[in-house]
Amino acid sequence: TPIQNDLTEYFSLV
């Protein structure tokens, strides 16, 4: 089953 990635993997915290 696919796993859920975290948004912060794609967008950086500013």
Partner 1 sequence: MFEARLGQATILKKILDAIKDLLNEGTFDCSDSGIQLQAMDNSHVSLVSLTLRSDGFDKFRCDRNLSMGMNLGSMAKILKCANNEDNVTIKAQDNADTVTIMFESANQEKVSDYGMKLMNLDQEHLGIPETDYSCVVRMPAMEFARICRDLAQFSESVVICCTKEGVKFSASGDVGTANIKLAQTGNVDKEEEAVIIEMQEPVTLTFACRYLNAFTKATPLSTQVQLSMCADVPLVVEYRINELGHIRYYLAPKIED
Number of residues near partner 1 (by CB under 8 A):
14
Least separation in angstroms between CB 5 and partner 1: 4
- Nearest-5° Cα angle at 12, 1 to 2: 5
Provide CB contacts within 8 A for 7, sequence distance 6+.
none
Binding letters toward partner 1, positions 1-14, x by CB under 8 A: xxxxxxxxxxxxxx
Give CA–CA dist 13/1, Å, rounded.
28
Least separation in angstroms between CB 8 and partner 1: 6
Give the interface with partner 1 as residue ranges (CB under 8 A): 1-14
